Structure 1
Amino acid sequence: MTHKQLVLDNWEFRASGDESWLPAAVPGTVHTDLLRSGLIDQPFYGTNEHRLQWIDKKDWEYRTTLQLDEGWESLAVTELNFAGLDTYADVYVNNVHALSADNMFLAWTVDVKGLLRAGENEILVKFRSVVTEDLPKLEQLGYDLPAPNDQSELGGLEEKRISVFARKAPYHYGWDWGPRFLTSGIWREAVLTGRNAAAIADVYIRQDEVKEASARLTAIVEVDAPDSWAGTLRMTVEGQEWTREVTLEPGKGVVELDLVIDQPRLWWCNGLGAPELTTFRAELLENGAVLADAEVRTGLREIKLIRQPDAKGASFKFELNGVPVFAKGANHIPNDSFITEVSEERYRHEIASAAESNMNMLRVWGGGFYEEEVFYRLCDEYGLLVWQDFMFACSMYPGDEVFLENVRKEAEYNVRRLRNHPCIALWCGNNEIDSAWAQFEENKGWGWKEKLSGEVRETLWTAYEEIFHRILPEAVTAHHPGIDYWPSSPLRELTNDADQHSVRIAGDGDVHYWGVWHGIEPFENYNVKVGRFMSEYGFQSFPELKSVLTYAEEKDMELESEVMLAHQKNGRGNQIIKEYMDIYLPEAKDFKSFLYMSQILQAEAMRMAIESHRRNKPYCMGTLYWQMNDCWPVASWAGMDYYGRWKALQYTARRSFNDVMLSVEVTDGDNVQVHAVSDLPGALAGALVLRLHAFSGAVLKEWKQSVQLAADSSAVVFTVPLAELMAGLDAKQVVLAASLLAEDGTLLERKEHYFAAAKELTLEQPVLTVAEVPGSGGLSFTVSTDVLARGVYLTAEQEGIFSDNYFDLLPGQVKTVQFLRRRADAAAGAGMETGAGAGVETVETGAKAGAGAGVATGVKAGAGVPYFVPAAPQGLEVRSMADYVN
């Protein structure tokens, strides 16, 4: 039987009405095609964004020609498949209209058997401007739909916010960290397929019950047969085999087969075990011969969202294979304004960075897009759970039947597309809309509904409930059973009264806490504003100088320069950073120093938040900061900048997410408390050593005691009155160093605590010494100092990370560090992954980072070559905070 496939990748494009055609990349976008042809300047440089808004006002055309042999004409089925069209498009085959598309998030397939011929064929795709397509919808509606992140003014549309009408990535219209680039193009693969026989269209491994003893599964196989067909379905997995005789009518049919696997290899998230993956093979047999086949890879696991009433409200926690998971991670946004520019290596860098940072969860935020397959595959491999938003954020949406039907198709398609990935832990309806609208509380939320008439308010809320309380949960229930649905983040619970909205921190639901930053509240509020699951919070910083110089020149190096403001999308963002810096840090000596100091500030804010959330376990069972990454080079909340360079925040998150953590807190009762937090599955015995140091390194006071930490616990392990601790000492001249040692003396965790703000400390200029570790081949080196050095900052000429960076160092400590380069060829092989702190010495005792009972610290089992590879750093330099302040 004949099966044919032709990938369509030889394209050209033009603006509609132009005579000449130019080469185009597919997958791609019109902006990147224009850039490659030299017709526009680099979109991210300077203020070029403002001068490229004309692109989205035009219609664009893409075409390709195919040479087909006569064999194509004899095939029973010939289909043209577009995995992604952005967004309003008409497809013509040999000048005959074949398809109309209106949703960026859908794949489009059309039967073209009668439209193709032997010889030359032309495929033409005409993209209509989303601006000219959707402006009439707004005018016809007669009132504005709330969409505050739509930067319509920058796009030349005044206050006409049209982003809500198109099923297109919302961030393309601008956000408070991203530019406005309304792309068009064939953004996922285009393929022509043909066949004479039945084909397997989809395989879903439904996990009915997964336990350590056995996994009860159902293989749901969708078969597309051009004619009636009878034969055998065979499923194989790891040496086991199941078969079923089937008879199919023409068209699509579904065949189910029950599977039982004894002693299954369970999939675990990072920190709890190996992310074991299992491959299932489906085959259609005709007279014993394989007619069609398909493979899917999944992980066998049970994941649940547990919301159990308790004395303080109701829990909000995930359980994986019956084990509670404290979620540690961040919010993920798209890695680029131009999605097709993100290579597998860039995805691997992000996911490997998350795993290296001891994360176990990423939230795919609802203002981007349903991510590429490689993103979820890597999350599967590295053991990262995914909180998956549907693509709705910070807006109210139309409720007409055409729009709602489009949403139904989008939900079904994307749930089905992603459901085999074991990383998917939760489907969430939208980002922040329930609390922004606050239906059941007048004068709460974001002030949207108060500007609208009662009739309009009712209309919009009816549409909201139809989408988020019916269409989306029905799609999850029907196509991804066993995975929980959460209507909006944040939310307390669906109660249809004022208790529903997360407009204040309560004892249930998830929380977006923005009192720090948007509310200009002090960092210390992180210690008291703690919910059951902190799904958003954050603080901004600038990227490092090397990254800033990719979009700015020396003349632009001012906080309020035109270019700096163009690369700060959050209104007063630059001034907010400055205001907080004036409170907490010494004054930066110039703008380039301000870049570094902004990262120190951001890292300190997030350290306080993460430690507070983890101290409050099990009341709080998740902390996902905003945000993991950037879509262009910009001042933002990201822990890694657009180029993947780790900010101080990323290193701080790595330390703060360690399986064993110490946290020092001064309570309202003026007691100094040392908390020990363990995410380990087993109990831990060790010793706590506390030393109060002068900045010269001298030990002023010392305490040592044994510690018994229960599995998966948080406890206060030491308390001393502040007055006793500081008796006769100046708070501006001492630091408390807390160390937790394993029974064999291995250092598990170390934490410094200061008793005055950094701006008040009496610091001297340290002399930092770097020395190669003998016998390391230049791969390891030590850092030491003569006086307290804060924010020790290592740099190298190559792209990569350090095993630790932006750390504080006291005299007498010898910090052993490695440089880890990005492995550019990592995408060449599957499974090249590394565990947190893989084989890297990062503490002065030489203990491996993250070492603890039952936790692997090297490359994960069967992982192959790690992504981050030790290398000798070129042009190594070391500085500290003292080099950047007056």
Structure 2
Amino acid sequence: MKSFYLLLTAVLISTLTLPVTAQQKYELNSGWYCANINDVKAGGEQISKPGFATDQWMKATVPGTVLTTLLNNKKVPDPFYGMNNKLIKDIYYTGNAYYTYWFVKSFNQTAKGDEQIWLQFRGVNYKTEIYLNGKKVNAKIHEGMHLRQQYNITALLAANGDNRLAVLVYPPDVVGEPNGGQGGDGTIAKGLTTQYTAGWDWIQPIRDRNTGIWDKVTIEKTTSVNVENPHVITLVPGKRLAEGEQKPVIIRTSSEVSNPSGKVVNGFLQYSLNGKLIRAAVSLKPGEKKEVKLPDLNLEQPKLWWPNGYGAQPLYKINLQFVNAAGKVLDDEPLQFGVREITNVWNDHTKSMEARINGQKIFIKGGNWVISDAMLRFSDERYDAEVRFHRDMNLNLIRIWGGAITERPEFYNACDKYGLLVFQDFWFSGDCNGKWVDPLKKEDQWTRRQYPDNHNLVLEAAADQIKLIRNHPSLAFWCGGNEITPPDDILDPLKNKILPELDGTRYFFDFSNTDSMSLNTLGGNGDGPYTIQDTRTFWSHKTYPYNSEVGSVGTGDYVSLKRFIPEKNLIAPQNGKPVDSVWDYHKYIPYDYHIDPYGKAKNAEDFAMKAQLVNYNQYRSLMEGFSGHMWDWYTGSIIWKTQNPWTALRGQMYDYYLDVNACLYGLRKGSEPLHIMMNPLDSMINVVNNGFQVKRNVMIQANVYDMDGKQQFTNQLFAEVGPSMVKKMFPVGEVLKKPIYKNGAFVLLKLLGADQKVLSENMYWMPGTDGEYTGLQNMKETKLNVIAKESKKGKIEVTLSNKEGKGLAFFNRIALINTETGERILPSFFSDNYVSVFPGESKTIWVDYPEKFNGTSKKVEVYGWNTGTQQVNIQ
């Protein structure tokens, strides 16, 4: 045998340049039809025969849910608009058969020679029976939303290549009563599905409970070997900097390989990187499947992957190949990864976990994520846009909440690209799974603590999903569940066997606010609060040292509201009074007294504008308060929540339609990696440096302006700010007590580099001595000069200029308009927004838009607090 492997090695080395026969893989994502089970009298054997007539069936959306298909066929109204969701029948009352559907798809495929054809489902909710060409594919009904399926269909293919696939999809066995509770009556958690679909405090129930073929269906062609579930681990010893030469790192790879043929297969599993060939000899018996570990690679001069705000995000691409003795590639699995190592240490000062990447401590600034779309209408473009928004907020982490899904690889691709670490919960939430006594729940806490019913299925699905996403450098932490652990017979094998064997590189938190993450010495649940707060509270009140959920309001602007609230319901909420029924149905959180200091809202448009001022201040102050106590009180904070998968009126930095609001830009400002800010308690100017290196010879500058935009005070000094620290500079509080500022003032802070370029700029609008924004209410109208130029396709330069001698042009919102429809182009990405321009000043904002709008006629719209609204042509 030894002589055989020596010969095989020689052959491989001499044939490395032979043509590669790459694997073939394609999606079955069009041409599907469906029908309700009550309308179909035939069984799967008949339906899956090519001659069975489906001309009366509906066109189906796959990937997608039954409700998505019904919506696309205009059988139901848009459940995201107004009160339409109430018009759609709920599965709890109709019975499961109402949303049980047959899906059929014809496709052309044959198998030649030693080719093997695989049918793969990446996600079906909830149970499936699969038929192909009159034959049953899965001997046992598949169960579980969070579990992939793969079948070798080679022997079932039609000789002429005309194949008919039929899939019967059943809803979850227990769908839960949508009684207004978190997860309805809680019984939705008896199955392994999305708990939020029975309703939550941020969403109304999804009527079909997301029944359907909700994720990709693919056909893969291999030969006598199938390479699957590859695994890469990167080890980065020592403490690294983001720039400069790097010492070597270790790349450790392995993969499952299987032999579906009836013959013994000998060969090599291999990949090439930086001119080095790494390979391991493999022999596979007929029908055998094994995991193969390759030799470690010492990678010289590696390009390290860093979280957003700390460095770049380079990615490596390799092809993991199985090569036979003749040098023929029998299977080829592409693999992308980033070089980084994640460790965690307990910070005994804060009493919380401290995250480290490549040896450097990272202050966590995160956002909670539920799911991209409540009806599971996912796309690469939407994922990319949403994660990019999180990058633009200067966040470095996204937490995936436990009442939803294991996020898709396409989401992780975007996080890899933009540098967002991911905190991935498994599929449990304390609301359904028994943490609290809850009169809205059908069963008691002891019973609910054992949900889901099938514990073995949970462990099987967990192992499968770990393999699905474990190679992404962005994946940073695993978590047992939202505010609660799984049952012990799930938690123990998951924590102590499955994760160590299948990953072994990431910290596992038992649940999202466990003491091993953040020691709760304050009482309560260990996270929150969730309502609007006085901005000084974020500085004065010490909360949980690594807060997994803390958040507030998030209403969009008037254009956003009009997308889903009927005109008759566009009624401004008033403090202390009942809110309109549609606002209430869409889960509005009151702004309480925070709107009134700007003047009571006259109408919904006025309310929406004033809400943006509150939004900006609220989220800027939140992150500034946490950053101001970095490494003293806190090691991190995760906002609840930063996105909405439904048209809810709370907890969002951009709306469901991907239109931004002021929350995003207030948070972007407060989360800057290098940031100048003012403590509202004592007016002390602080500088936060999240970076790894000292900032020398920087100038700290504080300017105070009256309400007419005239500069009345300035102070500045040079300083040195060390790495990963907060430095106090000087107060400006006494200045603000002068009578000239009795109706308010503007405080403009700047941090300048040695080249006098602005490193950070931050402007606060201050209330008058009575706590009211009287000065803002009485501001004079100021005309902005706006020039827009398209420097290249997809990128527009917008310059806002304010003439000398005019007043401050305050709080200007920029939008990109499709002149053909009059609607905003979404998503659009802005280098900044809700900006103010002082007299004699110009500001340039960059706007990016998607490629699909390249040929669309556009204008730039700008409206502000005291600048009116204007649309300008793009040069």
CA distance 1:209–1:707, shift in 2 (3 Å): closer
Matched, 1:504 2:504: no
Matched, 1:513 2:528: yes
Q: Distance in 1 between matches of 2:661 and 2:26?
A: 44
Q: Distance in 2 between matches of 1:371 and 1:553?
A: 33
Q: Distance in 1 between matches of 2:379 and 2:336?
A: 22
Q: Distance in 1 between matches of 2:469 and 2:502?
A: 10
CA distance 1:122–1:873, shift in 2 (3 Å): closer
Matched, 1:243 2:256: no
Q: Distance in 2 between matches of 1:369 and 1:511?
A: 23
Equivalent residue number for residue 642 of structure 1? 656
Within a 5 Å distance, the mapping from 1:480-495 to structure 2 comes to 480-493=503-516
Letter in 1 for 2:171: S
Q: Distance in 2 between matches of 1:723 and 1:549?
A: 44
**Any idea what SS the aligned residue of 1:609 has?**
helix
The RMSD of aligned alpha carbons is: 3.3
Alignment counterpart, residue 645 of structure 2, candidates 631, 634, 645:
631
Alignment counterpart, residue 849 of structure 2, candidates 805, 814, 822:
822
Q: Distance in 2 between matches of 1:603 and 1:399?
A: 43
Matched, 1:811 2:851: no
Alignment counterpart, residue 353 of structure 2, candidates 316, 329, 351:
316
**Any idea what SS the aligned residue of 1:633 has?**
coil
Equivalent residue number for residue 306 of structure 2? 268
Letter in 2 for 1:693: Y
CA distance 1:281–1:875, shift in 2 (3 Å): closer
The Cα of 1:161 is off from its aligned counterpart by 3.3
Matched, 1:105 2:155: no
**What percentage of residue pairs aligned between the two structures are identical?**
21
Q: Deviations over 1:416-473 (max 9, x none)?
A: 1111100111111111236xxxxxxxxxxxxxxxxxxxxxxxxxxxx63333454245
Letter in 2 for 1:252: K
8 Å CA contact 2:119–2:218 kept in 1: the answer is yes
Matched, 1:703 2:715: yes
Alignment counterpart, residue 635 of structure 2, candidates 621, 634, 638:
621
Q: Distance in 1 between matches of 2:213 and 2:790?
A: 49
Alignment counterpart, residue 779 of structure 1, candidates 779, 797, 818:
797
Equivalent residue number for residue 177 of structure 1? 202
CA distance 1:4–1:642, shift in 2 (3 Å): closer
Mean CA deviation greater in 383-392 or 403-412: 383-392
**Any idea what SS the aligned residue of 1:405 has?**
helix
8 Å CA contact 1:819–1:872 kept in 2: the answer is no
Q: Deviations over 1:824-855 (max 9, x none)?
A: 349xxxxxxxxxxxxxxxxxxxxxxxxxxxxx
TM-score by length of structure 1 reads: 0.80
CA distance 1:795–1:121, shift in 2 (3 Å): closer
Equivalent residue number for residue 33 of structure 1? 69
8 Å CA contact 1:68–1:118 kept in 2: the answer is no
The Cα of 1:731 is off from its aligned counterpart by 3.9
The Cα of 1:400 is off from its aligned counterpart by 7.3
Letter in 1 for 2:750: S
CA distance 1:393–1:784, shift in 2 (3 Å): farther
Alignment counterpart, residue 125 of structure 1, candidates 139, 163, 167:
167
Q: Deviations over 1:350-397 (max 9, x none)?
A: 122222232222222222211221111111122221121222223215
Within a 5 Å distance, the mapping from 1:51-200 to structure 2 comes to 51-54=87-90, 57=95, 58-64=98-104, 66=106, 71=111, 78-93=117-132, 94=134, 96=136, 98=138, 99-112=140-153, 115-118=156-159, 121-130=163-172, 133-134=173-174, 148-150=181-183, 152=184, 160-181=185-206, 182-193=209-220, 195-200=222-227
8 Å CA contact 2:350–2:631 kept in 1: the answer is no
Equivalent residue number for residue 812 of structure 2? 792
Q: Distance in 2 between matches of 1:242 and 1:734?
A: 65
Q: Distance in 1 between matches of 2:551 and 2:651?
A: 6
CA distance 1:586–1:236, shift in 2 (3 Å): same
Q: Distance in 1 between matches of 2:302 and 2:736?
A: 54
8 Å CA contact 1:547–1:633 kept in 2: the answer is no
Alignment counterpart, residue 733 of structure 1, candidates 740, 744, 767:
744
Q: Distance in 1 between matches of 2:710 and 2:809?
A: 14
CA distance 1:503–1:114, shift in 2 (3 Å): farther
The Cα of 1:306 is off from its aligned counterpart by 2.0
**Any idea what SS the aligned residue of 1:430 has?**
coil
CA distance 1:242–1:337, shift in 2 (3 Å): same
Q: Deviations over 1:8-62 (max 9, x none)?
A: 3432111111154211122121112112222112221221111213457424223
Q: Deviations over 1:108-136 (max 9, x none)?
A: 12344555543555432222233xx216x
8 Å CA contact 1:768–1:879 kept in 2: the answer is no
Matched, 1:11 2:51: no
Within a 5 Å distance, the mapping from 1:215-364 to structure 2 comes to 215-226=249-260, 227-250=263-286, 251-258=288-295, 259-287=297-325, 288-309=327-348, 312-339=349-376, 341-364=377-400
Alignment counterpart, residue 767 of structure 1, candidates 777, 781, 793:
781
Mean CA deviation greater in 525-534 or 321-330: 525-534
Letter in 1 for 2:536: E
CA distance 1:196–1:690, shift in 2 (3 Å): closer
Unaligned 5+ residue runs, structure 1?
A: 139-143, 153-159, 435-462, 827-868
CA distance 1:31–1:666, shift in 2 (3 Å): closer
Equivalent residue number for residue 719 of structure 1? 731
Alignment counterpart, residue 399 of structure 1, candidates 446, 450, 461:
450
Q: Distance in 1 between matches of 2:711 and 2:136?
A: 84
Q: Distance in 1 between matches of 2:158 and 2:816?
A: 58
8 Å CA contact 1:59–1:126 kept in 2: the answer is no
8 Å CA contact 2:704–2:748 kept in 1: the answer is yes
Equivalent residue number for residue 447 of structure 1? none
Mean CA deviation greater in 607-616 or 324-333: 324-333
8 Å CA contact 1:677–1:713 kept in 2: the answer is yes
The Cα of 1:749 is off from its aligned counterpart by 2.1
Equivalent residue number for residue 553 of structure 1? 566
CA distance 1:145–1:374, shift in 2 (3 Å): closer
Within a 5 Å distance, the mapping from 1:567-646 to structure 2 comes to 568=584, 573-574=588-589, 576-582=590-596, 584-619=597-632, 620-646=634-660
CA distance 1:274–1:69, shift in 2 (3 Å): closer
Matched, 1:44 2:80: yes
Q: Distance in 1 between matches of 2:237 and 2:857?
A: 46
Q: Distance in 1 between matches of 2:192 and 2:837?
A: 51
Q: Deviations over 1:249-290 (max 9, x none)?
A: 232111111222222221112222221211222222212222
Unaligned 5+ residue runs, structure 2?
A: 1-20, 41-55, 239-245, 434-447, 818-823, 870-875
**Any idea what SS the aligned residue of 2:606 has?**
helix
